[in-house]
Amino acid sequence: MADTFYTNAGCTLVALNPFKPVPQLYLPELMREYHAAPQPQKLKPHIFRVGEQTYRNVKSLIEPVNQSIVVSGESGAGKTWTSRCLMKFYAVVAASPASWESHRIAERIEQRILNSNPVMEAFGNACTLRNNNSSRFGKFIQLQLNRTQQMTGAAVQTYLLEKTRVAYQASSERNFHIFYQICKGANADERLQWHLPEGATFSWLPNPERTLEEDCFEVTREAMLHLGINAPTQNNIFKVLAGLLHLGNIRFADSGDEAQPCQLMDNAKCSFRTSASLLWLPEDPLLETLQIRTIRAGRQQQVFRKPCSQAECNMRRDCLAKLVYARLFDWLVSVINSSICADPNAWTTFIGLLDVYGFESFPDNSLEQLCINYANEKLQQHFVAHYLRAQQEEYAVEGLEWSFVSYQDNQTCLDLIEGSPISICSLINEECRLNRPSSAAQLQTRIESALAGSPCLGHNKLSQEPSFIVVHYAGPVRYHTTGLVEKNKDPVPPELTRLLQQSQDPLLKVLFPADPEETSQEEPSGQSRVPVLTVVSKFKASLEQLLQVLHGTTPHYIRCIKPNSQGQAQTFLQEEVLSQLEACGLVETIHISAAGFPIRVSHQNFVERYELLRRLRPRIAQTPHSLSDEGRSAWSAHDEAPTLQPLLQDIFHSLPALTLAATTPGGPAEATPASVHCGRTKVFMTDSTLELLEHGRAQVLDQCARCIQGGWRQHQQRKQERQRQAAVLIQAAIRSWLTRKRIQRLHTAATVIKHAWHKWRTRMAFLASNELDGAEEKHLLQAPRSLRVFPLPQAQTQLRGAIIRLWPLGLVLANAPVGVRGFQRKLVVWACLQLPSSGPSSYPVQTAQEQAGVTSIRALPQGSIKFHCRKSPLRYADICPEPSSYSVTGFNQILLERHRLGHV
């Protein structure tokens, strides 16, 4: 238990400052563990648990609402460290892992957001009596998330920088960290350039011998470089800061004569020249501006020049330094925002981190402490109004049985500070508007007389200095009225602004541009003079704006507690801790949270989100008594619209089934009834019930997703099958069409060949007839006369003529390859009949006598026909296209048996 620094007090996380490094509590592995946990609320209390809860609320709430975390506590309680750790957590869990390019962008944004911390702490934090790294300004950091809950950027808004610390530091306190960083971290060349020699002393740099962890110059420079501030600009910034340090060493001697201006002391002349050189200001106008005041009076706006007293010269010197530093700080904030802020269309929700100054009570408290404690009072009132009072009133309005818990309300203290018509702020502002010198004793008298009836206003009659006491929620604080009105006025002489506009320094030109409108506003005249806003008025307006932003978010609270006021580790003072817990209302918060319902959702939104759980309704239809009697009575006690009543009943009846399903298999089988109550317009439930509903909804959505995926796959398969069948049908039709076209082309070609062949056949028949007739006649003339001729009958003569006319076709058919049919056979016939048209004498025919010779082709065959492979007497009888291995070639003779023609 010695290293346990976090615990829960109702809806608030209590963070105890250990006053020592505990690195194992903030490792990236621990961040991922809280982020990946299915139920982070079951883990140990930690700031990472609060961060994860806000991140999941933005990610999965019924209506995604902007979230905010209010980090409060006394000065030195650890608010700055807590805010820094939360920013690191969001930078880790909200990074984009979608692609390498988006991951690089997310890392760059994360690095810039984290680098904004050391820069703002260097320029805005300082060492005080109670804290070595006290924030001297308030900031609201807006972490911007897109629709997929990935961090796309951030924005920083600041409140009330304590710029008086530049020129005034209380005893044992220090100036802003950046002044010590440049004096300790600058190298030899930079010291020479900035006129910061070793061992140099500056009036505005007290306690330089103290070395803090925050005095790390290289970290600040590296962070500024990542934010887009290059090395020359950094050098310009540090040169201006060095000029302010030298400006603080300027001292004026009292002239003794009001008509004569105060002159510089001898030991301050070198510092004056160095400061003018570093700020690039002309020496004579700078000295004249610090020594002489310009007054415009009368209708003609006559200009009068009045020498300033020694106090006024010092005040104008301090005002010049405060003006430059405040403008520089605002410029740095704008540079940071331009570097890390995302486009308005690129983000939809945000998580806000509010880190304001803690409650302060010093021996000498002035306007700064009044504004700081006023801000803490407003935030405490926001907590009281949002949680302690609003929750209990809402329970009563919705009809829930509730016994009110008494709590400490700080509205009375707020009425004393900011109330209307008379309050401390109004009286201070009224003193600023009066055209007369203000007296501290007179201001005290006015406050005590006008607000004597307030129970939060105290009196200290033993105090010798004029002051008043305000009883805050964290304890009474005594405020000194000396210098209170002057600080509230925060006057800026217009000649100082005009002087800074004449500077040739590039940075000062940016900080003080030559704007005619601004000049005209700084020099109002006569009746048209507009009241200048005071510090209190501007701070009050900024607080109202901040609270409007917080009211539009779901707030989460982290209370930082100091275990002891000495800042010692392992030292726990019970009385101090208990007083802090009671002051901020954590005791009442525990009582309300123990009996209350932190989750409340309207009926319409509840039904829209959890109507899916009605799918579980048929499974438990046989157990109508599964819902607890308490839940049914809570429902039946209130009436609802007829359309929503059955839906809500069905959803409530599904809770026991979800509770049974959520029990572990090895654990007890009993199911605890869900803590849910239905009011008149809202449904109230605990965090465990919300987790139960979300788990059941996720299961139903998973089933629906599986069903949709199955239907989609079936649809895709059917679609692919239809496409395949259509492709096959199209392919068959194309093939059929191509075949038909090919056959048509072949048929056309065959017809042409056929006609040509018929024509050629007729011609060949005529030529063959003439050839054979001539050869026979010649043979008969050469035959011996002893040959006897037997006349043939008339029928045989006609048959012989037909054979003679058609003999070429017979040769072609006989000589064609075996198995050739159809069109190929026609081609063979056409090829074989390409006989030359030569004379009849080229084809002699020899007639056979008895058993010797060959009979005429006109002779009818007698007996069997024999096929002999001998050379044909015809020239082209052996030609055959594409002969095959099994075809009979050389069928070129018709040999008849040696019988006489008369035996036929």
Q: Out of 54, 80, 410, 892, which one is annotated catalytic?
A: 80
171 in catalytic set: no
Tell me which H or E stretch contains 188. helix 188-194
How would you label 635-666 residue by residue, b for 16+ Cβ within 10 Å and e otherwise? beeeebeeeeeebbbbbbbbbbbbbeeeeeee
Which residues have CB under 8 Å from 377's CB, separation 6+? 410, 413, 414, 417, 472, 473
Secondary structure in 3-state letters for 616-636: HHHHHCCCHHHCCHHHHHHHH
Q: Out of 134, 236, 654, 659, which one is annotated catalytic?
A: 134
864 in catalytic set: no
Give the relative orientation of helices 283-291 and 494-501 as an angle to the nearest 10 degrees: 170
Q: Out of 358, 596, 679, 696, which one is annotated catalytic?
A: 358
How far is residue 670's CA from residue 666's CA, in Å, rounded to a whole number? 12
Contact 472, 584 (CB under 8 A): no
Backbone torsions φ then ψ of 683, nearest 5 degrees: -105, 125
771 in catalytic set: no
76 in catalytic set: yes
267 in catalytic set: no
Q: Out of 17, 75, 116, 675, which one is annotated catalytic?
A: 75
Q: Out of 52, 74, 312, 360, which one is annotated catalytic?
A: 360
Q: What is the largest CA-CA distance in the chain?
A: 187
542 in catalytic set: no
Contact 146, 152 (CB under 8 A): yes
Query: Which residue type does 368 have?
Result: E
User: Which strands, in side-by-side order, build the sheet including 467-472?
Assistant: 457-458, 467-472, 475-480
Backbone torsions φ then ψ of 70, nearest 5 degrees: -100, 115
135 in catalytic set: yes
Contact 883, 817 (CB under 8 A): yes
How far is residue 60's CA from residue 417's CA, in Å, rounded to a whole number? 41
- DSSP annotation string for 370-405: HHHHHHHHHHHHHHIIIIIIHHHHHHHHTT------
Q: Out of 51, 73, 76, 696, which one is annotated catalytic?
A: 76
Q: Out of 12, 115, 128, 131, which one is annotated catalytic?
A: 131
- DSSP annotation string for 737-757: HHHHHHHHHHHHHHHHHHHHH
Query: Which residue type does 689 have?
Result: T
Beta bridge partners of 554: 67
Closest CA to 836 of 805, 813, 800, 808: 808
- DSSP annotation string for 59-111: HH-SS---EEEEEEEBTTSSHHHHHHHHHHHHHHHT---S-HHHHHHHHHHHH
Contact 451, 422 (CB under 8 A): yes
- DSSP annotation string for 574-603: HHHHHHHHHHTTHHHHHHHHHHS-SEEEEH
Q: Out of 54, 72, 128, 135, which one is annotated catalytic?
A: 135
776 in catalytic set: no
Cβ neighbours, 10 Å, residue 556: 20
Residues labelled as active-site residues: 75-76, 80, 131, 134-135, 358, 360
